[in-house]
């Protein structure tokens, strides 16, 4: 089964956190497919990654083509993996059948939106029931990511730690 990392965005926005996580993935030699909620959001992320504060990140989308050459692929199609990614990044509550086939998933959700938090809890439960290994990350006041919970695929806790908000 796959590893799924839930990133509870409380201190950073998606626009701040995603480039940092993508940079880390690329430095590790991974290829990433990022699933956005719409084609408009794909274009927003495209602009973000071209004009990021620490420089641009190599990426592409259907508008650019050459998917096999792109280390990061942006898409609104949850079943799209044309760059043979080893990491799936889900944004804005998106889900994907690729969770079952890609070794690692990053699920980034807005911690200030109660609906997004509840949806993340539901995805945690679904992923646990599917047998995935789960990790839950929160940010410190300084913006560093700290793992707050982990549930191995063999754990059988009914509710598990999941992404909880006080």
Kindly report the pTM of this predicted structure.
0.90
Q: Regarding the domain with residue range 3-151, which homologous superfamily does it belong to in the CATH classification?
A: DNA polymerase III subunit chi (3.40.50.10110)
Q: pLDDT tens for residues 59-72? A: 999 998 899 999 99
Q: Write the pLDDT tens digit of every residue in 96-129.
A: 999 999 999 999 999 999 999 999 999 999 999 9
Delimit the domains of the chain by residue range: 3-151
In degrees and rounded to multiples of 5, residue 79 shows phi and psi of -105, 10
**How far apart are alpha carbons 115 and 122 in whole angstroms?**
11
């Amino acid at each position: 089964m796959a590893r799924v990392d839930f990133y509870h965005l409380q201190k950073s926005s998606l626009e701040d956190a995603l480039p940092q996580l993508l940079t880390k993935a690329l430095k590790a030699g991974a290829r990433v497919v990022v699933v956005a909620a719409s084609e408009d959001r794909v274009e927003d992320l495209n602009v973000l990654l071209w004009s990021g504060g620490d420089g641009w990140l190599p990426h592409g989308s259907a508008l650019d083509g050459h998917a096999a050459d792109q280390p990061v692929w942006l898409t609104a199609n949850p079943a799209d993996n044309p760059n043979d990614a080893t990491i799936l990044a889900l944004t804005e509550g998106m889900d994907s059948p690729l969770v079952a086939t890609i070794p690692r998933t990053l699920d980034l959700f807005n911690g200030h939106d109660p609906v997004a938090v509840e949806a993340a809890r539901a995805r945690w439960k679904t992923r646990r029931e599917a047998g995935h290994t789960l990790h839950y990350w929160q940010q410190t006041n300084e913006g560093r990511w700290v793992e707050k919970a982990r549930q191995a695929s063999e754990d059988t806790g009914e509710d598990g730690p999941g992404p909880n908000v006080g």
